[in-house]
A and B are shown apart, each in its own frame.
Chain A
Amino acid sequence: MPDPQITQALEQLSRGDRQAIDRLLPMVYDHLRAMAGRELRRERPDHTLTPTALVHEAYLKLVQLDRIDWQGRAHFFGACAQVMRRVLISYARMKKAEKRGGGVQPVTLENLVAAAESRPAELLALDEALVRLEALSARQARIVECRFFAGMGVEETAAALGVSPATVKREWTAARAWLNRELTRE
């Protein structure tokens, strides 16, 4: 059921209260981790769950839709992106502990969760790279979270982070090149 506090925090964000993100994140985290956990535990041979679907589902469940405009939605997705990263990485960490080893394969958006299951090492590598990127530019780490972990478009990402789409586009391109170089470096 919708969480009025989440909705309220989103409204505050939309009104320019940047600190509302600090209140928003823990709430979204609790909900989203529970939801993702349920999805991940579910036995599904054709694991079709995508981060985008998960975030959308969370959005529908947690937010009072009739009170939130498009910008509020973007903020929510932005928050979800950060949370998704943490959820998936901790999941991957768990899986890696189980599997010990396993080949490194490219991560793709469509099977991110599956990747967390089957190729946790690569996801963890990505996470480590992201930590380093964050040291260079926190904003670019956020952009990658939105684009990669939450499957958001340039415009949505721009709205979520309060920057121009041109900036998102430019920094995403560079950050992605940087990450890909780091991840494929032998």
Chain B
Amino acid sequence: MSDDGLTPERWARVLDLFSAALERSGAERQAFIDAAGAADPALAREVRSLLDAHERGGPVPDPEPAATPLPPSLQWVGPYRLLRELGRGGMGTVYLVERTGEGFTQTAALKLLRADFADPRMAARLTAERRILARLEHPGIARFIDGGTTGAGQPYVAMEHVAGTPLLAYCARQRLALHDRLALFVEICDAVQYAHSQLVVHRDLKPGNILVTAEGHPKLLDFGVAKILDDSAPEAGLTHTGLWATPAYASPEQMRQEPVTTLTDVYALGVILYELLTGRLPYRVEAGSVAEMVRVVCEVIPDRPSVAVARAEDEVPVRGFTAEVMTTGSRSRARALARRLSGDLDTITLKALAKAPGRRYQSVEQLAEDIRRYLDGHPVLARPDSIGYRASKFVHRHRLAVTAAALLGLSLIGGVGATLWQASAARRERDRAADALRQSEDVTTFLLDLFQVADPRSTPGDTVAGRAILRQGLARVDELRDQPAVQASMLDALGMVLVSIGHNERARELVERGLRLRQQIFGPAHLDVAESLRHLARVQRAQGEYADADTALRQAMAIEEAALGPDHPRLAETLSEHGFLLPYLARDPEPPYRRALEIRRRALGPDHPLVGTSMGLVAGAARWKGDLPRAETLWRETLAFRRRVRGAEHADVAEAMLHLGDLLAYRGVTGEAERLFREALAVQRRTIGAEHPQLAHGLGSLAALLASRGEFAEAESLLRESLAIQLHLFGPDHSGVAGSFDALARLALRQGRLAQAESLQRVGLATWRRAVGPEHSATAGSMGNLADILAARGRYDEAERLVRDAIAIRAARHGPGHPLVAVMWLQIAHFRLAQRDYAAVERLARDALDLFAAVGFASTHERVLEANSLLAEALKRVGG
């Protein structure tokens, strides 16, 4: 043999020369070999012998003599110059190409179809279709530019080159949440629907044909291309479909080679939706033969997406895009996702995946519409409409909340281990606790945000919807039994909503349930337990159970300080809550307010808005103690601070103006006070709206000021406005409404319209009793107001009895040595003074003064001044 002694190196030289010679022909080839052979005749002989064998052929055939997908010499396809390969698929190879014309250069993606797909009819098909395809102009569709055949008869399609990420990879990479996946899917549907309106069916929709741009919008590739292929080579049929395309997205009618319609695309979209929701395909097309694949696609009913997700953790991930990506792997998260999918999303997906085209959505538009309805919380079309269903739909946003809460809450269980609480004050532990706290606050904030719609203060005029949502929340909270941590968060959040609308007893019940649950789950010293205790204290304060509230807050603070250290803003919050409470217990609120202020300054920075909040609380404490000059200074500082960090147009600024105005009005500086009141009201109307409960303060203060100047008409119209707002927002059984009646009664009393005052005050008292209960401190205050009116009408005995009842209530609530009780002694002193019982007046005034001194009221406190003047009057009368 001539190749005896042929080495790999020599063979490589032979091959080089052989290949180079093949590119030449005739005389040129002979000359080329002669030249090469001049130095090495044996090499030339070898190459000639191979060339002979090449020409002659032999037992080893060339399996595709006509198939030359892209010879190196082929630099152009039609008018397009090939730049580089973009990718390959079963159908052929995609190149980035460039087309240069007069004054323009256009880049495009060119799909060069496999030569063995070529069919004489394909060229004709392309010509017919390309005009239709070129008409497709939609932002979600890669534009069809051109189609034709190469000189060698190889078909090609040129389309807009899209720089994007394939759909599933995009979702995984961006960790797209369910909502965002659905939004993206709707965009995809819109593009398909548009094409359908232009009478173009895609036929080969799959995630790989959908790219997502950097801006997050989908672009669909290859519209109409499959039709060209199918129609041109019907006899290629299923064999090709089965072997060259993934059958996973094919519809049953496609697998059976039945006519393809727009409903075929609906089916493929259903598969894509299924994959987007669950991270897996609706069924495994895994068995061997084509017949088996047909059977699977045509017969296997997919699991509901929620079921598929729920058992996702047991299975092998699909395509590297797993349910894990969506659920971060945890079993509980998978279950939480399953909850979100079960119901509407299950129904929608399976309707799109109906085996019989007639049972599917009859258009892509309908499918997209149902997804939109789901996203908006409206009833979806995919299920029979019943009243019960629509009712549940009404509160759909809440259901999302529960499920989302399930997601968040479950991460809490994982994140906040019981071990956390073995924590000493070690710094690292503290940081971990702070992390856990953030998560926990996220849950509550999130829940409260969702429920704000149920809190009339945040959505004035929408209380009906709000309360319906609340009802649903209450109804559903028991369904969270298997997720106690989430259930506890929900109970807590619902309790806070209820207390904000004055449903204190129900609120107490829920918050206490939440507390008990959290104690069971996390142990007694967990931050979530502290949160529950803080909220319980708020409810107890609203219920007038101040001593219990005090105990709860102290427990909460101890937990928080141990976990987070003494300087955490969370502690500042609980300290402030304690500050709110202390006056009810006749104790000075300033120390906790001050400490909260210092914590906030250190932890949040000197210009944080919460620093301004704390400044106002400290100022309020000074006011409470009657240190009026200091209170005025502090309020002026607070106002300046808030203006600086909040800007002039902010509700916080208005609040500071109102408090400062109150102080000035008391001092008789009515001009500046009135200006402050009016400006504050204007700011509030612009910032929080003309119908907001916070307006009551300014309206009441301004009305009182105007009444003191005898401007009764405007005062009354302001108070009626306030009453109207409260009535509209809260209904007739609310403390705000009761307070408005109190103010109107006072105004009538001041005008000397005693009968009217009495009837207004009786309405006010009845309202208080309904709103906060008959044994509440505020109810007692209203009884005192009525007593004043009765006394003014000369009914002293009746008045005193009423005040003594009120004193009993307050003594029970606050303890007998509380200023709120002493204030009522002064009321009786007034009655006795009018009845000339000076000894009683002296005794009552002295008792009150002793008590005020014990509490720490300043000599400038209005009640101290009042007591002193009563005492002086009594002594004067006795002495005189």
Q: What is the interface of chain A, defined by CB distance below 8 A to chain B?
A: 1-2, 4, 56-57, 60-61, 64-67, 70, 105-109, 122, 126, 135-137, 144, 147-148, 151, 153-155, 159, 165-166, 169-174, 176-185
User: Is B11's CB under 8 angstroms from A137's CB?
Assistant: yes
- A-B contacts, 22 of them at CB < 8 A, read A2-B286, A60-B287, A64-B284, A65-B246, A65-B285, A66-B286, A105-B59, A108-B61, A109-B63, A144-B60, A153-B67, A153-B69, A154-B68, A155-B69, A166-B72, A169-B68, A170-B15, A176-B60, A177-B18, A177-B50, A183-B59, A184-B58
Interface contact tally, CB-CB below 8 A: 132
The answer to whether B11 and A4 touch across the interface, beta carbons within 8 angstroms, is no
Which residue in chain B gives the minimum CB-CB distance to A104?
B59
User: Considering only CB atoms, which chain A residue lies closest to B7 in the complex?
Assistant: A136
Q: Size band of the B side of the interface?
A: 35 or more
| Residue pair A177, B61 in contact (C-beta under 8 Å) | no
Q: Is the CB–CB distance between B288 and A122 below 8 Å?
A: no
Which residue on chain B has the smallest CB distance to residue A64? B286
Chain A nearest Cβ from B105, distance in angstroms: 26
> Beyond A66-B284, A106-B59, is A178–B50 a contact (Cβ under 8 Å)?
yes
Asked if A65 and B53 sit within 8 Å, CB to CB, the answer is no
In the complex, B751 has a CB within 8 A of chain A: no
Known: A176-B54, A184-B59. A66 touches B70 (CB 8 A): no
Kindly provide the distance from the CB of A94 to the nearest chain B CB, expressed in whole angstroms: 20
Residue of B nearest to A4 (CB): B316
Among A105, A122, A136, A148, point to the contact of B11 (Cβ < 8 A).
Answer: A136
Q: B88–A155 contact, CB under 8 A?
A: yes
Q: B53: which of A136, A151, A154, A181 is its contact (CB, 8 Å)?
A: A181
Asked whether, in the complex, the Cβ of A137 is within 8 Å of the Cβ of B12, the reply is yes
A181 to B47, CA, bound (A): 11
Inter-chain contact A169/B71, CB cutoff 8 Å: yes
Assuming A1-B288, A155-B114, A184-B59, what are 16 further A-B pairs, CB within 8 angstroms? A60-B242, A64-B286, A66-B281, A66-B318, A66-B319, A70-B88, A108-B61, A126-B60, A137-B8, A144-B60, A147-B63, A172-B62, A174-B18, A174-B19, A181-B58, A184-B58
Q: Which residues of B contact A185 (CB under 8 A)?
A: 1
Check A70 against B90 for contact (C-beta < 8 Å): yes
Contacts A57-B288, A173-B22, A178-B50 given; does A153 touch B246 at CB 8 Å: no
Whole-angstrom distance from the CB of B89 to the nearest CB of chain A?
A: 6
The answer to whether A173 and B8 have CB atoms under 8 Å apart is: no
Q: Which residues of the partner chain B approach A105 to less than 8 Å between Cβ atoms?
A: 59
- Per a CB cutoff under 8 Å, which of B54, B57, B61, B69 touches A109? B61
Please, which residues of chain B bring their CB within 8 A of the CB of A126? 59-60
* Shortest beta-carbon distance from B359 to chain A in Å: 25
Task: Provide the residues of chain A in CB contact with B6, threshold 8 Å.
Answer: 136
Residues of chain B with a CB closer than 8 A to A166's CB: 72
- A106 CA to B6 CA, complexed, in Å: 26
Give Cα A177–Cα B72 distance, bound, in whole angstroms.
20
Q: List residues of chain B with CB under 8 Å of any chain A CB.
A: 1, 3, 6-8, 11-12, 14-15, 18-19, 22, 49-54, 56-64, 67-72, 88-90, 93, 114, 116, 242-243, 246-248, 281, 284-290, 293, 316, 318-319
Residues from chain A with Cβ under 8 Å of B293 in the complex: 60
Closest-by-CB residue of B relative to A185 is B1
Complex contact B50–A181 (CB within 8 A): yes
Q: How far is the CA of A61 from the CA of B61 in the complex (A)?
A: 28
In the complex, A171 Cα to B19 Cα: how many Å? 8
Instruction: From A60, A153, A165, A170, give the contact of B64 (CB < 8 A).
Output: A153
Residues in B whose Cβ lies below 8 Å from that of A169: 68, 71
Residue of B3, B11, B59 contacting most chain A CB atoms (<10 Å): B59
Q: Could you say which residues of chain B place their CB within 8 Å of the CB of A171?
A: 15
Q: Is the CB of A136 within 8 A of B8?
A: yes
Q: How far is the CA of A137 from the CA of B10 in the complex (A)?
A: 11
| Residue pair B318, A60 in contact (C-beta under 8 Å) | no
Give CA–CA (A148, B60) in the complex, Å: 7
The distance in angstroms between the C-alpha atoms of A148 and B71, with both chains bound, is: 20
- CB-CB under 8 A for A154 and B67, given A136-B6, A177-B18: yes
Chain B residues, Cβ within 8 Å of A151:
63
- Contacts of A2 on B, CB cut-off 8 Å? 286
Q: Decide: B288 and A60 in contact? CB cutoff 8 A.
A: yes
B242 contact set on A, CB distance < 8 A: 60
Knowing A106-B59, A159-B88, the reply to whether A174 touches B50 (Cβ < 8 A) is yes
Contact B318 A67 (CB under 8 A): yes
Distance (Å) between the CB of B838 and the closest chain A CB?
Answer: 99
Q: How far is the CA of A109 from the CA of B287 in the complex (A)?
A: 27
Q: How far does the alpha carbon of A127 sit from the alpha carbon of B54 in the complex, in Å?
A: 19
A135 to chain B, nearest CB (A): 7
Nearest opposing residue in chain A for B239, CB measure: A56
Please pick, from A60, A64, A165, the residue contacting B70 in the complex, using a CB distance under 8 A.
A165
Chain B hits for A66, CB < 8 A = 246, 248, 281, 284-286, 318-319
Q: How far, in angstroms, from A52 to B591 measured CA to CA in the complex? A: 88
Cβ of B7: which chain A residues have Cβ within 8 Å of it?
A: 136
Q: How far is the CA of A178 from the CA of B56 in the complex (A)?
A: 12
Q: Is the beta-carbon distance between A180 and B56 smaller than 8 angstroms?
A: yes
A177 & B12 in contact (Cβ 8 Å cutoff): no
Return chain A residues, CB-CB under 8 Å to B59: 105-108, 122, 126, 179-180, 183-184
Q: Which residues of A contact B61 (CB under 8 A)?
A: 107-109
Complex contacts, B243 vs chain A, CB 8 Å? 56
Q: How far is the CB of B54 from chain A (nearest CB, A)?
A: 4
| List of 7 A-B pairs having minimum Cβ-Cβ separation, nearest first | A180-B58, A181-B53, A61-B288, A177-B54, A106-B59, A136-B11, A107-B59
A106-B19 contact in complex given A67-B318, A174-B50, A181-B49, C-beta closer than 8 Å: no
Residues of chain A within 8 A of B58, CB atoms compared: 106, 179-181, 183-184
Q: With A60-B288, A66-B318 known to touch, is A178 a contact of B53 (CB < 8 Å)?
A: yes
For residue B115, give the distance in angstroms from its CB to the closest CB of chain A. Answer: 9
Closest partner residue, chain B, to A59 (CB atom): B243
The answer to whether A155 touches B288, judged by C-beta atoms less than 8 angstroms apart, is no
Question: CA–CA, A92 to B570, complex, Å?
Answer: 83
Please name all residues of chain A whose beta carbon is closer than 8 Å to the beta carbon of B69 when the two chains form the complex: 153-155, 165
**Contact: A173 with B246, CB < 8 Å?**
no
Min CB gap A78→B, angstroms: 15
CB neighbours (8 Å) of A61 from chain B are 287-289
In the complex, what distance in Å separates the CA atom of A20 from the CA atom of B49?
Answer: 39
Q: Complex: how many Å from CA A143 to CA B41? A: 29
Chain A contacts for B56, CB-based, 8 A: 180, 184
- With A148-B60, A154-B64 as given contacts, are A170 and B286 in contact (CB-CB < 8 Å)? no
Min C-beta distance of B51 to chain A, whole Å:
7
In the complex, are the beta carbons of B319 and A67 less than 8 A apart? yes
**Contacts A137-B12, A180-B59 known; A70 to B18 CB distance under 8 Å?**
no
Q: Do B51 and A177 touch (CB < 8 A)?
A: yes
In the bound assembly, the distance between CA atoms of A153 and B114 in angstroms comes to: 10
Query: Which residues in B have their C-beta under 8 angstroms from that of A64?
Result: 284, 286
Complex contact B287–A1 (CB within 8 A) = yes
Nearest CB in chain A: distance from B324 CB, A? 15
Residues from chain A with a CB closer than 8 A to the CB of B71 are: 169
Closest to B52 in A: A181
CA distance A67 to B11 in the complex (A): 40
A105-B57 Cα distance, complex, nearest whole Å: 13
| Best-surrounded residue of B11, B49, B70 (most CB of chain A within 10 A) | B11
Chain B nearest CB, measured from A17 CB (Å): 15
Query: Which residues of A lie under 8 Å from residue B319 when comparing CB positions?
Result: 66-67
Chain B residue numbers with a CB within 8 Å of A135 are 8
How many Å lie between the Cα of A137 and that of B11 in the bound state?
8
- Cβ of A181: which chain B residues have Cβ within 8 Å of it? 49-50, 52-53, 58
Q: Name the distance in Å between A72's Cβ and chain B's nearest Cβ.
A: 11
